[in-house]
Amino acid sequence: MSAKKIATLSYHRAINYGAILQVYALQKKIEEFGAECTVIDYRNSKLEDRHNRMKLSDCNSFKDYIRYFLLSKNYNSKHHKFREFSKNYLKMSNSYYDISSLKKIIDRYDKFICGSDQVWNYNINGFDDTYFLSFLKDKNKKNAFAASFGFEEIPTKYKKQYYEFLKDYNTLTVREKHGADIIEDLVGYRPKVVLDPTMLISKKEWYSFANEYNNKNKYILIYGFSGKNNMMDLAKNIAKKTGYEILIIGNSYLPSFNIKYEKTAGPKDFLGIFKNAEYILTNSFHGTAFSIKLNKEFFTELLPESRKINSRLEHVLELFELRHRLITDSNPEIIENNINYDRVNERIKKEKEKSINCLRKIIED
């Protein structure tokens, strides 16, 4: 019997650590079932513009030129590492730029899987229905694994479109409880909630895959996005208490007195930096997920309520009974209470088994 041919569709082109590592993780788990996995190299124009190399020719204002001269060298180095990672570790198809070209390759694969990550977030992809696998007419080939909306509710004006896109999947699973609520409200049945693919890979496997990161000082890692309210103050206070260095994964042109920036880290560098951190402070979903999977002492800060995207952070914390790791102020005494990872790992084991069974069903059904 020949191996099943599985195609996955996600944000594999994003210059984002969580996005590319979850694509790799899903590919790896599919191959463990004896199937062949191909990552569809689909190029969404909005994502391509957002995650392109920085070019002098794209500058349109004085501010653009300043940003280019201050940030482009480091950003483009990081960009190159992401593209090299894709070349070396993702088994990709030819490149496709529109939905009509994807219709021509349907017969090459037994199953298609969209997800994980925020593939159903219209703000990110310009409401590209390709990420709903709308080019498939055969329901039996149409599946979603750990897909995420990335927001808390669908605007009324889009509900009818979302209904049409989501009503006819063979197997539909989501990454967050809130996503299950949205789908149940739309189509009348509740999909299963599964783990992000990065949490299906063992700690040992992630560590063996990571690039070794040697820092002369012990460090507190900050990994996140804009909107850090208490995170930096807490990091500084923990640094005073412990004598540890503060290290930030990011490309900043601000002065960095007593703070070290890793500005060009690739995906495997990211794993190595996480591996050796003493404490991790984050407001990122994948920053939180990797902290939990790698059994690190971490703290998560919710993003401003105005962004309405905290449900994914809250879900993963509640799932593993870690809501007490939320950052609410900058008091460094928070580090006195260590996480009971024996209990957390038991929950991971249980949820991982459920998630793997869902993925197996998609592939073997």
CATH fold of the domain at 5-200+350-364: Rossmann fold (3.40.50)
| Residue 255 pLDDT | 67
| Residue 81 pLDDT | 98
For 196, the 3-state DSSP assignment is coil
Comparing CA positions, the residue from 302, 252, 248, 319 lying closest to residue 279 is 248
Determine phi and psi for 94, rounding to 5 degrees.
-65, 170
CATH fold of the domain at 203-345: Rossmann fold (3.40.50)
User: How far apart are alpha carbons 189 and 167 in whole angstroms?
Assistant: 10
Alpha-carbon dihedral angle through residues 249, 251, 78, 38, given to the nearest 10 degrees: 60
Q: Residue 128's CB: how many other CB atoms inside 10 A?
A: 18
Regions of the chain with pLDDT less than 50: none
Beta-bridged to residue 114, according to DSSP, are 9, 144
Sequence letter at residue 34: G
- The reply to whether 5-200+350-364 and 203-345 are identical in fold is yes
For 237, the 3-state DSSP assignment is helix
| Residue 306 pLDDT | 58
Per the structure block, which two tokens stand in for 136? Answer: 């498939």
What one-character-per-residue DSSP string does 19-77 give? HHHHHHHHHHHHHHTT-EEEEEEE--HHHHHHTSPP-GGG--SHHHHHHHHHHHHHHHH
- Residue located via tokens 């783990």: 195
| Residue 254 pLDDT | 72
Determine phi and psi for 259, rounding to 5 degrees.
-130, 135
User: How far apart are alpha carbons 348 and 320 in whole angstroms?
Assistant: 8
Q: Where are the domains of the chain?
A: 5-200+350-364, 203-345
Beta-bridged to residue 304, according to DSSP, are none
Determine phi and psi for 276, rounding to 5 degrees.
-100, 5
User: How far apart are alpha carbons 288 and 322 in whole angstroms?
Assistant: 10
